Amino acid sequence: MTAPKLAPDAAVRKAESRRGVFTAMPAAIYLLIFFCTPLLIIVAYSFGTRTATGSTRLSGWNFDSYERIIDDLVLGIVWRSFWLAGLTTILCLVVGYPFAYYLATRPARIRNILLVLVMIPFWTNGLIRIFAIRFLLGSDGPVSQASSSLGFGEFRILFTPTAVIIGMLYSYLTFMVLPLYVAIERLDWRLVEAARDLYANGGKAFRKVTWPLTRSGVIAGSILVFIPSFGSYVVPEILGGAKTLLLGSYIARQFGQARNWPFGAALSVVLIVAMLIAVVVNQRSAASELTGSSS
């Protein structure tokens, strides 16, 4: 390699660009083959046809699988998944905002310890954590035993939508807390002080200053909770009952016992589209914050 500073500017930039492409190449090719291609294949399958034997025929594209989504039963499942995910998101926000606020306003040393305590359950085994919830909530589990020995009677909550919401809150609360923490931590407290000096009370200062300035964290957190909740599979499989069939399990079923891959693919496309919309919304909110046009 020769010293680049002797070469003219354009040539340097070209060599830089080539080096960048070269460095990114292995990962880019890998993602192209094993992420982008599967993404396109699932979209292609959603327009395919299920044959009598349960295999998929790709010739003769049609919208049959999408028409099936409009079926009442299916819409019911999508709708139930949607509002359970929505409710989870709201609960995470209600619990997570004050929690993140508390973390972000601690002195630095304590804050770092608390953050580690938040990160541990975030990254540790999700399946086992849901199993722990199941063990705790079981009809003769520790919670139920405690409640019956205190005279409140047996505690029947496992295999209900409530149990699923508890499980999703348990799984995804940290996704809400972390972006909120980042947003609150970098808040310019002088603005809040200024509002207070101008005789705004605590509530008003929060509404007019703190909340709008941390809105990007609220949006990012809500998306990070809503998307996995909407497509959640492990949580409803372990904590939900037969009556709480959700989108994630329903998709899995199409690729399992039901052997209707085109229909399962169409349902997956719904999830992917929801995810892409969320990503765009998030980028818009981040961009509008940078340009200062958020009000």
Partner 1 sequence: MSIGMQTSKGVGRLLKINAWLVFAFFYIPMIVLVVFSFNASQRVNIWGGLSARWYPEMLRNDEILSALENSLVVAAISTLASTILGTALAIALDRYRFRGRGTLEGVAYLPIIIPDVTMAVMLLAFFAQAFRFLGNIGPQLQLGLYTVVISHIAFNISIVAVVVRARLGQLDPALEQAAQDLYASRWKAFRLITLPLILPGILAGALLALALSLDDVVISAFVTGPGGTTLPVYVFSAIRRGVTPELNAISTLMLAASTVLVLSSLFLQRAPKQERTTTKEDS
Q: Which parts of 205-264 interact with partner 1 (CB under 8 A)?
A: 205, 224, 227-228, 230-234, 237-238, 248, 251-252, 255, 261, 264
In terms of residues, how long is the chain? Answer: 295
160 contributes a contact to partner 1 by CB under 8 A? no
Q: Write out the binding residues for partner 1, residues 271-290 only, by CB under 8 A.
A: 271-272, 275, 278-279
Q: Looking at 51, 62, 105, 162, which residue binds partner 1 (CB under 8 A)? A: 105
124 contributes a contact to partner 1 by CB under 8 A? yes
Instruction: Indicate the angle between helix axes 72-104 and 161-185, nearest 10 degrees.
Output: 40
Q: Looking at 135, 147, 204, 211, which residue binds partner 1 (CB under 8 A)? A: 135
Applying CB under 8 A, the span of 37-45, 63-71, 149-157, 287-295 interacting with partner 1 comes to 37-45
Q: Write out the binding residues for partner 1, residues 46-85 only, by CB under 8 A.
A: none
* Cα gap 120→105, rounded to integer Å: 20
Instruction: Show the tokens assigned to 164.
Output: 């699923």
Q: Looking at 192, 218, 219, 266, which residue binds partner 1 (CB under 8 A)? A: 192
191 contributes a contact to partner 1 by CB under 8 A? no
Applying CB under 8 A, the span of 40-48, 65-73, 148-156, 285-293 interacting with partner 1 comes to 40-48
Angle at 127 between CA 122 and CA 130, to 5 degrees: 80
* Cα gap 257→64, rounded to integer Å: 20
* Cα gap 241→161, rounded to integer Å: 8
198 contributes a contact to partner 1 by CB under 8 A? no
Q: Which residue, 233 or 289, is less far from partner 1 as judged by CB?
A: 233
28 contributes a contact to partner 1 by CB under 8 A? yes
Say if residue 114 is exposed, middle or buried (CB neighbours under 10 Å; 0-12, 13-18, 19+): middle
Specify the DSSP class assigned to residue 236: H
101 contributes a contact to partner 1 by CB under 8 A? yes
* Host H or E run for residue 57: strand 56-57
CB of 271 to partner 1, least distance (A): 5
Applying CB under 8 A, the span of 59-67, 71-79, 130-138, 286-294 interacting with partner 1 comes to 130-138
Say if residue 40 is exposed, middle or buried (CB neighbours under 10 Å; 0-12, 13-18, 19+): exposed
Token pair 């005789």: residue: 199
